[in-house]
Structure 1
Amino acid sequence: MSLQYSFMNQNWNHSGASGQAGALNPDKQIGTNFYTLYGQHMFNDNWGVEAMLPYWMRSFTTDTSGVPGQINPSPTTRSANISSLSDLRVMGMYTGFSKDKSSGLTFGLKLPTGPVNPAPLIDRDTAPGTGTTDLLLGYYSMGNFSANWGWFSQGTWRHALNHYQGYKPGDSLNTVAGVTWNAIETSTHIIPMIQVNALWRAPDQGGGDALYGNLNSGYTNVFLAPGALIDLSRHWQANTSIYLPLYRYANGDQLVPHWMVNAGITYLF
């Protein structure tokens, strides 16, 4: 079981592969605290289930009279704050490819448990819930290069199975690959690690951006994330990472963060 915290402050307007003037984007700032509770249970050596329940605390500031791609000489800035559960993910796991369970497949659904209209200012693509049921397919794999060096990789593809109130989020693919250095674990209880996180998302369909042809949705992000695992005791482990952008491409004008941070604690049974 694990509780993870992430913070993301989207306050930089981005178009294509470069930053652009903030005045071209009616949205000015999206700051979010993410709290995610993870649980996992193995029924036997090969099959298990895991669930992820997110909770969002989000602040959103926008120019209600602005038009994407145009400078508004008389902006009308408004803000909204929301705190809500987001969409629950439930996934099955198959780990029977090898005796050490170092590789596996995941499959399941993202369920429409989060609100889609939590406040009048919140767009469909910034709401905690999408209103859709999404198919999730993924994998994980891990191993060791040597006694001191390990590696890990995982990925998840998401596809919405339906529209809800005219909105359908674009498909997404999230992949992670990283290495761990185990040489100082015995003396310090710390395992340094570094990973590359790549996220691709297709443009949405419908929603608040439909008026402009969904030109301001869909992106590609690649982050470098140094971090560490910290063994607190036999059953408790902490983790922390900071995500630094290596590459990003945004369709239209979108707000992006300069950096993101993640920290969490896990209980190992």
Structure 2
Amino acid sequence: MRPVVRCLFAGLFTAVASPAALACSACGCTLSSDWASQGLATSKGWRFDARFDFFDQDQLREGTSSVARETVAIPNEREVQQYTTNRNYTFALDYSPGKDWGVSVALPWFNRSHGTIVAGDEAVSTSHEEGIGDLRVLARYSGFDAQRDTGVEFGVKLPTGAFGSKFETGPQQGETVDRGLQLGTGTTDLLLGAYHFGAFNADWGYFGQALLQVPLNSRENFKPGTGLNLNAGLRYTASETFVPQLQVNARFERREQGANADIDNSGATLIYLSPGMTWNLSRRFSAYAFAQVPLHQRVNGLQIELRWSASVGLHYIF
């Protein structure tokens, strides 16, 4: 089967909350990268994927509406976030010992700049974090029938990312940054999912996937919200060289819990439209590029969200 685009749930690697300067920024890019759910990992062997995501969260939102910054008084009784600029990398290694079983390991590297006006402050405090995020290990099984077009996924997200970054400038200098903006959550999360893929005819294929993420513990009085990702995609495969694809990506995230959680300003429902293209340079090597724009954004409290995102990547089959 021809290799098509791969992407990862950036939201599965985004961290959450802290006692100082509390306010949760929703995770941003939700583009799908699960090889199995797209029918691209049905043969044995190794695969490697490297992806870069850029998204700038600078639109202040409350509920389903955007909020004009000039209407928000400063100082304010609530934190008023200014921007969160994300330049993120994800490296994934996938292995299938046979047709029925497979496993993928993915590690993100975050480069994130953040500016915010904390409740009661009159000036912006800034931070910059760079380093690895939380490692994800996801196994899959698809041996339910001869077609192997339906499968289940199960695994864990491990607390490999740091969560103690401090503000570098402004009134909050030296204080801990909101853990929604840290490199890791500090928690171990259970991952459970299911997927199905198929073809309408010789030229059109589709896939669908659901993946649930449930925190199994809390860390330093914080527990991230349970999250559910739903993804559906349609691809045109008449050409073996250029494969256009259109995805709809949705994430539903519940509020955080604990004394260090920003309960009022956490949790969201996010739905995005993601058009893109894969360029198959050879039978083993592919490049891809996607854009992502919001269709629906509903946040709890006052949060900042992206207006668009861009993703590019390379995929290699050993």
TM normalised by structure 1 equals 0.91
Mapped partners of 1:45, 1:149: distance in 2:
23
Aligned to 2:256: 204
> Where does 1:133-172 land on structure 2 (aligned, <5 Å)?
133-172=188-227
The match for 2:125 is 78
In the TM superposition, what whole-angstrom CA distance separates every residue of 1:149-196 from its partner, at most 9, and x where no partner exists? 11011221000001100000000001110111122x14xx10111111
Paired letter, 2:145: S
Q: Tell me the amino acid that sits aligned with residue 110 of structure 1.
A: K
> After superposition, what is the alpha-carbon deviation per residue over 1:8-30, rounded to whole angstroms, capped at 9, x for unaligned?
11101011011013346521111
Instruction: Mark the CA change 1:254 to 1:207 in structure 2 (over 3 Å): closer, same or farther.
Output: farther
Distance 2:203 2:209 in 1: 21
Q: Mark the runs of 5 or more structure 1 residues left unpaired by the alignment.
A: 68-73
Structure 1 residue 198 displacement after superposition:
0.7
- Alpha carbons 1:13, 1:25 under 8 Å: kept: no
- Counterpart-to-counterpart distance in 1, 2:100 and 2:268: 36
> C-alpha distance in 2, partners of 1:207/1:140?
36
CA distance in 1, matches of 2:259, 2:58: 21
* Secondary structure of the structure 1 residue equivalent to 2:180: helix
Q: Matches of 2:251 and 2:106 in 1, distance apart?
A: 19
RMSD: 1.5
CA distance in 1, matches of 2:195, 2:316: 20
Give secondary structure in 1 for the equivalent of 2:255. coil
SS at match of 1:125: helix
Secondary structure of the corresponding residue to residue 266 of structure 2 = coil
Alpha-carbon contact 1:123-1:207 (below 8 Å) kept: no
The whole-number CA distance in structure 2 between the counterparts of 1:129 and 1:193 is 31
The 5-angstrom pairing of residues 1-269 of structure 1 reads 1-22=48-69, 23=72, 25-64=79-118, 66=119, 75-119=122-166, 120-183=175-238, 185-186=239-240, 189-206=241-258, 208-210=260-262, 214-269=263-318
Gaps of at least 5 residues in structure 2 are 1-47, 73-77, 167-174
Tell which has more relative contact order, 1 or 2 (C-alpha 8 A, sep 6+).
Answer: 2
Name the SS of the counterpart of 2:139 in structure 1: strand
- Tell me, in whole angstroms, the C-alpha distance in 2 between the residues paired with 1:268 and 1:7: 25
**Percent identity over paired residues:** 34
The verdict on how the C-alpha distance between 1:216 and 1:77 changes in structure 2, with shifts beyond 3 A counting, is same
After TM superposition, give the deviation of residue 141 of structure 1 in Å: 1.8
Q: Distance in 1 between matches of 2:200 and 2:259?
A: 47
1: CA distance, partners of 2:287 / 2:259: 38
* Native 8 Å contact 2:191 2:214 kept in 1: yes
Supply the distance in 2 between the matched residues of 1:6 and 1:102 (Cα, whole angstroms): 29
The answer to whether the 8 A contact 1:124-1:207 is kept is: no
2-structure distance, mates of 1:2, 1:154 = 19
Per-residue deviation, 1:102: 2.3
8 Å Cα contact 2:129-2:182 kept in structure 1 = no
Q: Normalized per residue, which structure has more strand?
A: 1
Whether the 8 Å CA contact 2:157–2:188 is kept in 1: the answer is: yes
What amino acid does structure 2 have at the position aligned with 1:252? G
